[in-house]
Structure 1
């Protein structure tokens, strides 16, 4: 049986140990390597073949190194490996950047019990977007129909601003804001 070769890119010892142990228990998965830095990950990918990269997003402080690695691999075509982002972060911008840079899935560490299934799904090109990211992606797809101005107004409304406050912030009349909110509602209803 051919094994799924996984490179774990993780700097936290707790997660390195636990994920390595979990992967080691699977008959169809082989841990091809464990690295802790962006440089080590890029170097490893030049010397070993891997099918799946299980990538922590923050390797040093809050630098989003995992997204940088994915961006570099995408830019250079340096790897055909599929990337699954694994992180404690769940901000919309980080989820979106992960997928834009080539990740096939995004799992928060609080859902780490789903990693094995996600690895198999990615390997067999059947990646279902994990619930940690799915709702956010669906929302962003729907919101992509908004113009930049409508999106700005939508975001302000989501942050709790009322029509008057939005009009003051954007230097527009309240009637203009009302009109744009109506347009936003119409677009979001489909």
Structure 2
């Protein structure tokens, strides 16, 4: 049986060792290398065959989001499985936009990590229960009809400012970054977000992104 070749990318030696130990328990997976930053990951993937990259997001020299963009630009690029301490959509959205197929938090059970490696290798999404699996589907299956979109925006009562904020949300902007971009206070951004949640009948930013994308109100940017 051909093994799934995995590259581990994390700046913490303890995490790299722990992930290697977990993957070694499955005979269908082999860790081909472990590196400590995104630049080393890109360099390795340029020169070696890799099936799946376990990618940390916060690292020195080059972070996981930038590394994901660079790796996914390669011909026959490996699948990227982000694995991080953060379950916030501030990290989730940008790495999915960059091309990751999955997103795990580091407290994920060992068996679920192994299952996720198989899932992304087989072309499926893999995501921790703490974030919504529907988000990956939404990111990948955007379809828009301009006139229908305009009519829906009017029916929902979404203002131009609220649409601006949804657009920035789709690009991975958090409230602070949005306030700076639009030159309004962070409190005002939060007020607009609350109105967006009400109009879309959702509870949080991730659900708003999913709903807005499914409805065709926004389009997740994709790298060429």
The offset of 1:136, in angstroms, is: 8.5
Are 1:9 and 1:53, in contact at CA under 8 Å, matched by a contact in 2? yes
Within-5 A mapping of 1:8-47: 8-47=8-47
Instruction: Give the match's secondary structure for 2:107.
Output: helix
* Separation in structure 1 between the aligned mates of residue 117 and residue 125 of structure 2, nearest angstrom: 8
Offset at residue 64 of structure 1 (A): 6.8
Higher helix share: 1
| 2:198 corresponding residue in structure 1 | 185
* RMSD (Å), alpha carbons: 3.4
Closer/same/farther in 2, CA of residues 29 and 135 from structure 1, 3 Å limit: closer
Matched, 1:117 2:130: no
Provide the secondary structure at the position in 2 that maps to 1:116.
Answer: helix
SS at match of 1:90: coil
- Structure 1 residues 9 and 112: CA distance shift in structure 2, 3 A: farther
Deviation (angstroms), 1:85: 0.3
Tell me, in whole angstroms, the C-alpha distance in 2 between the residues paired with 1:96 and 1:46: 25
The TM-score normalised by the length of structure 1 is: 0.71
Distance 1:56 1:8 in 2: 8
- Give the gaps of 5 or more residues in structure 2: 140-152, 170-174, 176-183, 203-210, 212-224
The reply on whether 1:89 has 2:86 as its aligned counterpart is yes
The CA distance in 2 between the partners of 1:85 and 1:42, in whole Å, is: 15
Distance in structure 1 (CA, Å) of the matches to 2:81 and 2:121: 11
Report the TM-score when normalising by structure 2.
Answer: 0.61
Q: Give the Cα–Cα distance (whole angstroms) in 2 for the partners of residues 79 and 95 of structure 1.
A: 24
Tell me the matched-pair count. 163
2:144 matched residue in structure 1 = none
Q: Which has the larger radius of gyration?
A: 1
Q: What is the match of residue 163 of structure 1?
A: none
- Taking a change above 3 Å as real, the CA distance of residues 131 and 71 of structure 1, as seen in their structure-2 partners, is same
Residue 161 of structure 2 corresponds to residue 149 of structure 1: yes
